[in-house]
């Protein structure tokens, strides 16, 4: 198979590219990435010389280039991860999120449609797999309920609205044209190579350097967390065995309040750096809550477990230990990606709130 993985130089994408390149040497994996601030080819240095790997720098919004790539590489499958994903950025710049997440997805869908419909076999053996987020479902109360595949869409931020729209386009291409599509909605990911605008790598870095830890509101918002390697495993399973036109939720059954995660991070970083555990609790700084901040997310991934046999391999305590150790061992990587655009983004989002 010839497979394009969009956003392949980003956090989740790089783990998916690495898994597919190493696990399927008979496949040709085309890593497609625009290399914006969150895309980094360092994330894929260990596979860049593999014979079944090709990197293409391109913008998914460029329809002519997407169609040319489909034809040049005779693409059989698309795993679509490329997206603007940081909620704070979407609040400040919703147009960029609409362009990339909605029109970029539409560009890929139309390029795939035109190319695949030109083939004698048309859609046979083809697959368009769209990775989405649990945020499209809105928010849950503290009542034990979970997001299921039947949960009504109710996005509350420009980011989640853009992802909800792209999900609808993907399903519409199946219903209108018969394109073999799959959509998955995943909970919060954590692990190596995550760009440090997100909570866990940002706070690990700040704790290490004894910088303030800006916590929205009282830190009572709850998220379901999944180790990124487990998400990559789920994507592999669903791409090969998932049912066409289905939606699968991917979650860790692992809910944590933000403030509790921050306490775990402080204790873990302090311990691994040889400091007294909890010595840096005074770094916590409560700031004005984010606009439209969803209270609680929690994913029910029972369908994925029962149909395809997937479940998370790591408990959070083990995963967070591995994650903290990775960032502490890769301070040079962190230093390189936390310059320039990152620092301006950090200043805009957290200072002065």
Any idea which residues carry the catalytic annotation? 134-135, 159
Q: How far is the C-alpha of 31 from the C-alpha of 109, rounded, in Å?
A: 17
Q: How far is the C-alpha of 342 from the C-alpha of 345, rounded, in Å?
A: 5
DSSP 340: T
Beta-carbon count within 10 A of 245 CB: 15
**Two structure tokens written together for 11:** 């956090």
In this structure, the dihedral spanned by the alpha carbons of residues 272, 278, 283 and 288, taken in order and rounded to 10 degrees, is: 110
In this structure, the dihedral spanned by the alpha carbons of residues 254, 257, 258 and 264, taken in order and rounded to 10 degrees, is: -70
E strands, the chain, are 2-6, 28-33, 53-57, 77-80, 127-133, 181-186, 188-190, 213-216, 222-227, 247-250, 255-257, 284-287
Residue 125 host element (H or E): none
β pairing state of 181-186 and 247-250: parallel
E strands, 18-81, are 28-33, 53-57, 77-80
């Amino acid at each position: 198979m010839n497979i394009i993985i969009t956003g392949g130089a980003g956090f989740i994408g790089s783990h998916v590219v690495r898994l597919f390149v190493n696990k399927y040497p008979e496949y040709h994996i085309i890593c497609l990435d625009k290399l914006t601030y969150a895309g980094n080819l360092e994330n894929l240095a260990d596979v860049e010389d593999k014979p079944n790997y090709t990197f293409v720098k391109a913008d998914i919004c460029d329809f002519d280039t997407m169609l040319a790539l489909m034809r040049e590489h005779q693409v059989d499958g698309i795993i679509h991860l490329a997206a603007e994903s940081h909620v704070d950025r979407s609040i400040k710049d919703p147009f960029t999120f609409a362009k990339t997440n909605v029109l970029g997805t539409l560009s890929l869908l139309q390029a795939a449609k035109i190319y695949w419909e030109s083939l004698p076999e048309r859609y046979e053996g083809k697959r368009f797999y769209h990775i989405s987020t649990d945020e499209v479902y809105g928010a849950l109360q503290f009542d034990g309920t979970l997001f299921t595949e039947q949960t009504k869409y109710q996005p509350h931020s420009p980011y989640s609205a853009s992802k909800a729209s792209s999900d609808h386009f993907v399903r519409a291409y199946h219903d209108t044209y018969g394109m073999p599509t799959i959509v998955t909605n995943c909970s919060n990911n954590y692990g190596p190579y995550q760009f440090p605008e997100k909570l866990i790598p940002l706070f690990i870095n700040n704790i290490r350097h004894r910088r303030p830890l800006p916590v929205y509101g009282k830190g009572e918002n709850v998220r379901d967390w999944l180790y990124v390697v487990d998400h990559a495993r789920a994507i592999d399973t669903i791409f090969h065995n998932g049912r066409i036109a289905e939606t699968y939720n991917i979650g860790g059954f692992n809910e944590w309040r933000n403030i509790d995660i921050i306490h775990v991070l402080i204790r873990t970083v302090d311990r691994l750096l040889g400091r007294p555990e909890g010595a840096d609790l005074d770094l916590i700084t409560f700031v004005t809550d984010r606009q439209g901040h969803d209270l609680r997310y929690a994913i029910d991934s029972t369908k994925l477990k029962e149909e395809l046999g997937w479940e998370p391999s790591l408990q959070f305590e083990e995963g967070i230990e591995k994650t903290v150790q990775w960032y502490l061992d890769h301070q040079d990587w962190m230093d390189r990606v936390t310059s320039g655009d990152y620092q301006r983004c950090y200043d805009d989002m957290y200072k002065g709130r």
